[in-house]
Structure 1
Amino acid sequence: MDTTRNSPEEPNLTTLGPEGQRKTIRKVLLRLVPILALGYFFNALEKTNIGQAGLHMNAALGLTASMFGLAAGLLFVGYALFEVPSNLMMMKFGARRWLARIMITWGICASATGFVTNEWGLYAVRFLLGVAEAGFYPGVIMYFALWVPREYRGTMFSLFVLGGTSAAILGGPLTGFLLTPDSYFGIEAWRVMFVLEGVPAVLVGIACLFVLADRPGTAKWLSERERDWLEGAIAQQEADIPASHGASGALKSLQDPRVVVLSFIYFCLKCGQYSILFFLPLIIAGFKTSSPTGLSSLQIGLITGLPALCAIVPSILWARHSDKTQERRWHATIPALVGAVGIGASALVDSPLMIMVFICLAMVGLVSQSASFYQIPGLFLTGAAAATAIALINSLGNLGGFVAPTMFGVMKDATGGYQVPSLVMAGVLLVGATTTALLPVMFKSLARKPAPVAPNKEAVQQL
């Protein structure tokens, strides 16, 4: 049962008892996470469905592996250029309208991919897709920071990321199913697939205008006490950050060496992650089978979804453990090491079964890393500075989504196989994991564990 309202001298964080806090957080979670996770589902799908489309599109447009890798990666150039401005615009116009705008415009650009006629058209539309969706992922991170106290963010973020993971599980078979016939009414199947998978993002964006609220104080579906507790708890935590870590100003965050190093770490992670996501369908298509025609598009889609399926439960449990212990560094380091081992080992075996086992291991690590990693900037930045820093980390890090598939394709063309590029990406991940482990050595402000922020752990454990 909720406690009575405390005196003004007592922290806002305790104006609700553990049961009241748990109910409030669960109410927020059920209201915000499903629609944002659904948006992330289509966001991830529209980033990576080009991998399966490449099985048909490359021949239709005359693309080499290098050209395909460049097209896949150009999305992240537009993404990187507009990430920071997009996050600052969200702070100005409000999360509800800005997140809706992002979803609507990326859905339009994703559908436009179905109308390209040559590699230059594909390059252009992929770049514009990156521009349109810039700010979504870091915007959601900042949105959760406006809505829930620190001790709940890792778990909520892992549930949001589940939307992207689900895209790899369900999106692969869905895309494979849409690609099964050669054409629909004389239109190539890969073109129809892009159009059909782009439209839902527009609809989800429109729904966000009615479902989301900018912050707890404007949410009519919360009681006054629930709004007061959320706003007070978050304000209390943010007030402590500048005094403890000297954070100040959005522009200064761009010059913060901690932000630069975190951007480098995230770049390494994304190199490993997107090399798998973009090229896994092509790797699977090369598996030797008893069928003279090889695997069908649907079979490839089903197999492509296995690594993400394996990652769901471990990633959520890992995030919950990180929230419970309030430890972030090793919860970000260990999964990156697992990812490096998985990708590297997959390059050293010949059996399709063992290749998939190690890729599944790699995906468990790569998916589990993000929730803990993205809590690190909140240890030393807040407000506009945090919005700028998170956007910069995400934009520079996601350049790995351009570098990895581009270089992966070039190395594949040069060597004739996937072993060398896979080993290179494993090495990049290893560098990222090592850098994460050394963060407290490089920056004393990251060596301190944050002070406890919850009166007890029951509310976190019962989410």
Structure 2
Amino acid sequence: MATASAAEPQTAGTATTEEDSLYSLVTRRLMPVLLTAFCIAYLDRINVGLAKLQMASDLGFSDAVYGFGAGIFYLAYAIFEVPSNLIMHRVGARRWIARIAVSWGLVSMCMLFVRTPASFYALRLLLGMAECGLFPGIILYLTYWYPAHRRGRIVAMFMAALPISGLVGGPLSGLIMQRFTGVSGLHGWQWLFFLEALPAVVIGIVIWFLLPDRVADARWLSDEQKSIIAANIAKEDAQKPTSNTRSVFTSGRIWLMSLMLFAFATGNMGISFWLPTILQRAGHGSALNVGLLSAIPYAFAAVAMIALSMSSDKRRERRWHLALPAFAGAALLALSTVWSNDLTMTIVTMTAASMCVFAVAPLLWAQPTALLSGGAAAAGIAMISSLGNLAGLFSPSLFGYLTVRTHSTSAGMFLLAGFMVLGGLLALMTPARLVNK
């Protein structure tokens, strides 16, 4: 009888527990490398916000020059994302992501040679070209491993790199700028760009040796484990609407998600690039103090991002999990203008706003990956990222223009709030049957 009992099929609960253990193993193997890579990338992208506190006076850059230079990164980013993702789908994640990391690290180092607005714009443009495929490439890569109902929290874990990079990078950048000013005749902001670019080259080498291209290449998985992951992905792909690469560019759903990302990214990038300036004007602190204070909103945002995505995955609901934080974030961004000269209240309102604004991004990215597969997924993810991230050109530039014209950051904050409301409304326009998976 004991033998017969042992031969009986596993119960659903046992199978689920074993799959949970399998995906936990995958997460432990992949996420430390991917999360670290995106942390470094995002820090190299936004550290110009703290560098501005010294660059502006050293080089005579106005807020408008800074805003345009910060944003032009995303012009190149948008142009080259689709071809980059299609190349990665063909040649494999390991080679392509490693190449991206090394090249953006080298370009970021060259930021120490900035002297004029033209050189600032040129190097930010080159940085966008170098880094453009990293984010959509990794989002695509995760679709090779995780089914849709597990992907929300995994994407959130990966995208926690955004607030984590601010949490770590703010104090680190402030410390570098204070301690290294004058060393070897260089300004603190020059040392900032050089030292924070070095880890990008290192992580590129690590990715080359550690990251498997696909499930079949993972030496740390047994054949049975590989077959379980492959079967889950194949089952999900079979249920997705049939699509090809060309159809992505005429899909109304893809354009809707692109516009939604544009709206949410306008708020996200406005905070990322202008938070140091907002805090400095509220409290008139040094670069180090501003860097330390800027870590507070990012710390809470990281927790909110994971918590909201876990709630969304558990309930298999996306739309209201997107819309409600977006509306709350908009209200808090607008409210922050009331206390723009009070450092304590600025930190409180910007922390609460950051929790809402940053938390929505992973849930948005769970939507296209639930609808697309294969080459269509590569093109669709890159297209949404390309068009949505044009907000990176629009948001910092217009924020800087409004700040110059009004001599206040309040108009810029209302701009960000308006786009968060738009994003929330667009989220509610998405049919629930397409995204609640």
The bucket for the TM-score relative to the shorter chain is: over 0.9
Inter-partner Cα distance in structure 2 for 1:163 and 1:248: 31
Q: Contact (CA 8 Å) 1:180, 1:297: kept in 2 or not?
A: yes
TM-score w.r.t. length of structure 2: 0.95
1:436 correspondence with 2:431: no
| Counterpart position of 1:455 | none
Q: SS at the partner of 1:286?
A: helix
| Counterpart position of 1:369 | 360
Inter-partner Cα distance in structure 2 for 1:238 and 1:111: 42
| Counterpart position of 1:392 | 383
Q: Contact (CA 8 Å) 1:342, 1:360: kept in 2 or not?
A: no
Q: Contact (CA 8 Å) 1:4, 1:15: kept in 2 or not?
A: no
Q: What is the deviation of 1:38?
A: 0.5
Q: What is the deviation of 1:448?
A: 5.1
Deviations along 1:170-226, one digit per CA (max 9) or x if unpaired, are 100000000004321211111111011011011101100111111111111001111
Deviates more, 1:106-115 or 1:180-189: 180-189
| Counterpart position of 2:139 | 141
| Counterpart position of 2:237 | 238
Inter-partner Cα distance in structure 2 for 1:240 and 1:199: 44
1:165 correspondence with 2:163: yes
- Picking from 97, 104, 118, the partner of 1:106 is 104
Aligned residue identity for 2:297: P
Q: Contact (CA 8 Å) 2:301, 2:359: kept in 1 or not?
A: yes
Q: Structure 2, unaligned stretches of length 5 or more?
A: 1-5
Equivalences for residues 295-444 of structure 1 within 5 A: 295-350=285-340, 351-440=342-431
Measured at CA, do residues 6 and 48 of structure 1 come closer, stay the same or move farther in structure 2, by a change above 3 Å?
same
- Picking from 239, 245, 248, the partner of 1:250 is 245
Q: Contact (CA 8 Å) 2:148, 2:370: kept in 1 or not?
A: no
Aligned residue identity for 2:312: S
Aligned residue identity for 1:252: S
Deviations along 1:133-162, one digit per CA (max 9) or x if unpaired, are 112111111111101222211111111112
Q: SS at the partner of 1:429?
A: helix
TM-score w.r.t. length of structure 1: 0.89
- Picking from 89, 97, 105, the partner of 2:87 is 89
Q: Structure 1, unaligned stretches of length 5 or more?
A: 8-13, 289-293, 441-445, 452-463
Q: What is the deviation of 1:325?
A: 1.6
Deviations along 1:225-255, one digit per CA (max 9) or x if unpaired, are 110100111011101112xxxx311111011
Aligned residue identity for 2:360: Q
Q: SS at the partner of 2:190?
A: helix
Q: What is the deviation of 1:380?
A: 2.4
Q: What is the deviation of 1:73?
A: 0.3
Deviations along 1:49-70, one digit per CA (max 9) or x if unpaired, are 0011001111222211101100
Q: SS at the partner of 1:56?
A: helix
Q: Percent identity?
A: 33
| Counterpart position of 2:3 | none
Which structure shows the bigger proportion of residues in helix conformation? 2
| Counterpart position of 1:189 | 188
Q: Detail structure 1 runs of 4+ shifted over 4 Å in the superposition.
A: 3-7, 448-451
Measured at CA, do residues 236 and 16 of structure 1 come closer, stay the same or move farther in structure 2, by a change above 3 Å?
farther
> CA RMSD for the aligned pairs?
1.9
| Counterpart position of 1:65 | 63
Inter-partner Cα distance in structure 1 for 2:89 and 2:68: 32
Q: What is the deviation of 1:15?
A: 12
Measured at CA, do residues 448 and 274 of structure 1 come closer, stay the same or move farther in structure 2, by a change above 3 Å?
closer
Inter-partner Cα distance in structure 1 for 2:25 and 2:251: 36
- Picking from 52, 55, 60, the partner of 1:54 is 52
Inter-partner Cα distance in structure 2 for 1:448 and 1:200: 39
1:269 correspondence with 2:260: no
Inter-partner Cα distance in structure 1 for 2:118 and 2:343: 35
